């Protein structure tokens, strides 16, 4: 058995099934796409697109929601170093308010694909809504636990968004963004009620709009 075949033998077949299926159809640059931050009351939604090489070594890679912060931070530089291409797309809070969270998520995904330095020829997208791009694509519900490319994108998106929220915590102290990352914890909701919404809050979301002037 070659080193390459040994590596693939160690990876569960199901997590590379969709990449292999696309490659069997002649596609060569398969990008996995996922997002982080649809649910929070503050901050952007961040999408990532990742094209993995045929051979890679990312032990422990899975859906970012199943990983600790420490595990995500360990995997993040490995993904950046080993991926053929990584693209990140951000949709800000004001864009979310203007076009709604679903459309902002799709906009972030479009931007992530557009920032890949290797043009993809096939997309694997977490969820059930296609990205409005003229590229062959497949949506996968719970794709972040079914596709390693999507799992890699989920880790990148989560780490980037968490770092953005830590930066926003320094810009807008008092809300605790570094701790809850913008999600609607009791402490976060109490801070909004006491301080009013910050510029990075999503003013159309319940828990924020009640406190807007």
Q: Which tens digit of pLDDT belongs to each residue from 20-54?
A: 999 999 999 999 999 999 999 999 999 999 999 98
Residue 34 located in a structural domain: yes
pLDDT band at 149 (very low <50, low <70, confident <90, very high): very high
Residue 190 located in a structural domain: no
Residue 186 located in a structural domain: no
Residue 187 located in a structural domain: no
Angle at 28 between CA 23 and CA 32, to 5 degrees: 85
Angle at 69 between CA 66 and CA 73, to 5 degrees: 110
Q: What distance in Å separates the CA atoms of residue 49 and residue 150, rounded to the nearest whole number? A: 8
Q: Give the number of domains in the chain.
A: 1
Domain CATH number, residue 83: 3.30.420.10
Q: Which two tokens stand for residue 24?
A: 């069997």
Residue 192 located in a structural domain: no
Please give the residue range of the domain that contains residue 31.
3-171
Residue 7 located in a structural domain: yes
Identify the DSSP state of 54: S
Residue 178 located in a structural domain: no
pLDDT band at 3 (very low <50, low <70, confident <90, very high): very low
């Amino acid at each position: 058995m070659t080193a390459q075949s040994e590596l693939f033998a160690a990876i569960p077949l199901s997590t590379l099934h969709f990449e292999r299926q696309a490659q069997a159809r002649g596609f060569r640059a398969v990008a996995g796409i996922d997002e982080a931050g649809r649910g929070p009351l503050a901050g952007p939604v961040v999408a990532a697109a990742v094209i993995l090489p045929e051979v890679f070594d990312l032990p422990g890679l899975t859906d970012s929601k199943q990983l600790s912060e420490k595990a995500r931070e360990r995997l993040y530089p490995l993904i950046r170093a080993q991926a053929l291409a990584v693209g990140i797309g951000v949709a800000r809070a004001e864009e979310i308010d203007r076009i709604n969270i679903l459309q902002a998520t799709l906009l972030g995904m479009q931007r992530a694909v557009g920032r890949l330095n290797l043009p993809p020829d096939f997309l694997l997208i977490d969820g059930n809504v296609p990205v409005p791009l003229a590229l062959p694509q497949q949506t996968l519900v719970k794709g972040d636990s079914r596709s390693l490319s999507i799992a890699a994108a989920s880790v990148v998106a989560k780490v980037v968004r968490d770092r953005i929220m830590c930066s926003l915590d320094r810009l807008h102290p008092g809300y605790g963004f570094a701790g809850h990352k913008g999600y609607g914890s009791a402490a976060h909701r109490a801070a909004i009620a006491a301080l009013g919404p910050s510029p990075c809050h999503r003013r159309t979301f319940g828990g924020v709009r009640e406190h807007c002037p």
